[in-house]
Amino acid sequence: MSPLLRQREQRCYLGKWQIMNSLCVFCGSAPGKDDVYLEAARLFGTILAKRKITLVYGGGSIGLMGAVANATLRAGGRAVGVIPRQLWDQEVGHRALSDLFIVDSMHERKAKMAELADGFVVLPGGIGTLEEFFETWTWSQLGIHAKPIGILDVNGYWSGLFEFLDRMIVTGFLKPEHRALVQLSSDPEALLDATAAWASAQDLAQPPRRAATAI
Ligand code: AMP
């Protein structure tokens, strides 16, 4: 077990989840074709600042990623970026963040974001967002981490995916208890409350799954 995973498990075991100090947001590097997505991203960033939750994200200044970060900063919050060196130009690295980590690979980026965050929230996005979401969820399914995962459904963006997830349950490829590891809401405040409540419930149910054999 890597030191990073051991540290995560120990933090879970020590029960420090009751307060969500930081959240990793996965979302599109594109803005979407309807302003509703940018508005939702800005609102979410503002709410994070209001709740004094540090934003951890991919470090770009474009699309929904940039919109969340700018809104958090404008509202007086903290935004921390993690960006691979080779994506600095492509994703127009944000130059005014509270903290910035420049890493060497996509894998390092995800590991660093996961290390820095107490939970994850997914906003609308493309295949990069989906990849980040599914890896985070499969790690939760395997008991590698016990951090909450929330999906913000803007304008019904995720409804098709969740219909498909229901089909996976009906056909026997996804267990209902693993589906339940993810919270879905169209209301950002309700989503943040639900992820915090989920984290507290995990804390009460300690030790986390597999911790006994993993540590
Ligand atoms: P997209 O949803 O496709 O607009 O991508 C959103 C973000 O996910 C961008 O910052 C991408 O660089 C990032 N991304 C895409 N694939 C990966 C990956 N395998 N690991 C980490 N980040 C990724």
CB 151 within 8 A of CB 122: yes
Q: Is the CB of 143 under 6 A from ligand 1?
A: no
151 forms bridges with which residues in the sheet? 122, 184
Q: Is the CB of 66 under 6 A from ligand 1?
A: no
Reply yes or no on whether the pLDDT at 67 is more than 70.
yes
Q: Is the CB of 100 under 6 A from ligand 1?
A: no
Q: What residue's CA is closest to ligand 1, atom 14?
A: 128
CB 137 within 8 A of CB 39: no
Q: Is the CB of 111 under 6 A from ligand 1?
A: no
pLDDT at 202: 79
DSSP, collapsed to helix, strand or coil, labels residue 25 as strand
H helix count then E strand count, the chain:
9, 7
Give the architecture-level CATH label for domain 18-202. 3-Layer(aba) Sandwich (3.40)
182 forms bridges with which residues in the sheet? 149
pLDDT, tens digit (0-9, with 9 covering 90-100), for 2-16: 444 444 444 444 344
Q: Is the CB of 37 under 6 A from ligand 1?
A: no
Q: What residue's CA is closest to ligand 1, atom 19?
A: 106
pLDDT, tens digit (0-9, with 9 covering 90-100), for 78-105: 999 999 999 999 989 999 999 999 999 9
Atom of ligand 1 nearest to the CA of 90: 12
Pocket test for ligand 1, best of 29, 64, 90 (most atoms within 8 A of CB): 29
CA of 129 to the centre of ligand 1 (A): 6
φ and ψ at residue 208, rounded to 5 degrees: -65, 160
pLDDT band at 31 (very low <50, low <70, confident <90, very high): very high
Atom of ligand 1 nearest to the CA of 91: 10
The residue among 37, 53, 4, 70 whose CA lies nearest residue 153 is 37
Inter-CA distances, 55 with 10, 45, 109, 152, Å: 23, 8, 15, 15
pLDDT, tens digit (0-9, with 9 covering 90-100), for 126-135: 999 999 999 9
Average pLDDT, the chain: 89
- Hey, what are 92's tokens? 């127009």
Q: How far is CA 50 from the centre of its chain?
A: 18
CA of 203 to the centre of ligand 1 (A): 30
Where are the chain's structural domains?
18-202
Q: Is the CB of 153 under 6 A from ligand 1?
A: no
